[in-house]
Amino acid sequence: IIVYDRVRETLHQRPELNIKQAVNLSINETLGRTIMTSLSTFLSVVALWLFGGKALEDFAFTLMIGLIVGAYSSIFIASAFVVYLTEYNQRKEKHLKA
């Protein structure tokens, strides 16, 4: 959600950029914050996994996997998906006009 919102803001602030440039700039702006947030949350969950006992072990492990997958997908998959959909819609509109 943060990457999508930042792309939207970047496109409104700098309309001369194409979608690839806007996504690249947006990822660069949010990358540090995303990594630091994910890392600090991950460390907290690791402590919960190590010291939470048997009752919380499976839950904490699931949270660790979710943090890794969530950080990866928000940075790499979501941004590529936005670029693909935007370019697809532009090609479709161009084809319909022709």
Q: What is the pLDDT of residues 15-50, one digit of tens each?
A: 999 999 999 999 999 888 888 999 999 999 999 999
Q: What is the pLDDT of residue 1?
A: 77
Q: What is the pLDDT of residue 47?
A: 96
**Predicted model pTM:** 0.77
- The CA-based diameter of the chain, rounded to the nearest angstrom, is 65
Structure tokens at 13: 């602030």
Q: What is the pLDDT of residue 37?
A: 92
| Chain center to CA of 35 | 10
Q: What is the pLDDT of residues 63-77, one digit of tens each?
A: 999 999 988 888 888
